């Protein structure tokens, strides 16, 4: 849209001499034409400035889209690595050690981390707000596996968020910390083997 406006403005400016020449061929007052030309020149400068701002805004938007695409690609790569280690237990030793008591706990911790990472990506890109994260985290930390993950990984998330030149990751981790502490204060979590209703 902005590029179209810029092209239209450039064409209008380029045709100004032709229009004045056509007007001058009749019996027109040259003094009046001069005033019109000056007024049009000032207006064309304003249009040009607006078109330039539009181009700048378009470039900024494109830059942000490229950044988002790069982050999405990096997140997809990280997700594939984690899922590969879930599918092949021998690969879990390639990651940092996590104090869990079984391969099942390790797989659950990895998967919960993927869930939280997905929330973080949406929050950082402003697809969701603080209230959305609060609601998600409140439900999330009612479960045993979710609490275990944050107990094990919360410090790592805090340290990692602090290294980024952005306040939003720090805010995200703070929201999860608040929800976790509230959940702990509210009572014990729901055991992971109690998530399913009995059909008997």
Residue segments in the chain with a per-residue pLDDT below the cut of 70: 1-48, 50-51, 61, 64, 68, 75, 196-200
Per-residue pLDDT at 45? 67
Tens digit of each residue's pLDDT (9 = 90 or more) over 122-136: 999 899 999 999 999
State residue 23's pLDDT score: 55
Predicted local distance difference test score (pLDDT) of residue 31:
65
Distances (CA, A) of 192 to 59, 112, 136, 145: 48, 12, 17, 6
Q: Report the pLDDT value the prediction gives residue 185, as an integer from 0 to 100.
A: 97
- How many other C-beta atoms lie within 10 A of the C-beta of residue 19? 13
**pLDDT, tens digit, 9 for 90 and up, residues 89-148:** 788 778 777 788 888 898 899 999 999 999 999 999 899 999 999 999 999 999 999 999
For position 11, what pLDDT does the model report? 60
Q: For residue 193, give the nearest of 119, 108, 118, 106 by alpha carbon.
A: 108
Q: What is the pLDDT of residue 200?
A: 44
Interior/surface letters 165-189, b for 16+ CB within 10 angstroms, e for the rest: eeeebeebbebbeebbeebeeeeeb
pTM value? 0.65
Q: Please give the torsion angle defined by the CA atoms of residues 9, 11, 17 and 19, in that order, rounded to the nearest 10 degrees.
A: -90
Contact 173, 157 (CB under 8 A): yes
């Amino acid at each position: 849209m902005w590029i179209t406006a810029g092209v239209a403005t450039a064409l209008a400016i380029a045709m100004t001499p032709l229009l004045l020449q056509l007007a001058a061929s009749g019996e027109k007052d040259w003094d009046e034409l001069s005033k019109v030309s000056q007024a049009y020149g000032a207006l064309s400068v304003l249009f040009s400035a607006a078109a330039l701002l539009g181009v700048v805004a378009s470039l900024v938007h494109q830059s942000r889209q490229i950044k988002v695409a790069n982050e999405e690609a990096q997140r997809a790569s990280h997700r594939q690595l984690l899922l590969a280690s879930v599918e092949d237990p021998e690969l879990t030793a390639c990651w940092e050690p996590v104090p869990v008591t079984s391969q099942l706990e390790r797989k659950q911790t990895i998967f919960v981390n993927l869930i939280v990472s997905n929330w973080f990506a949406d929050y950082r890109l402003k697809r969701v707000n603080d209230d959305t994260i609060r609601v998600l985290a409140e439900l999330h930390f009612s479960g045993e596996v979710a609490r275990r993950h944050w107990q094990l990984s919360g410090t790592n998330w805090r340290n990692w968020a602090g290294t980024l030149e952005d306040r939003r990751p720090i805010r995200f981790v703070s929201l999860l910390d608040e929800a976790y502490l509230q959940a702990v204060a509210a009572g014990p979590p729901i055991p992971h083997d109690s998530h399913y209703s009995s059909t008997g």
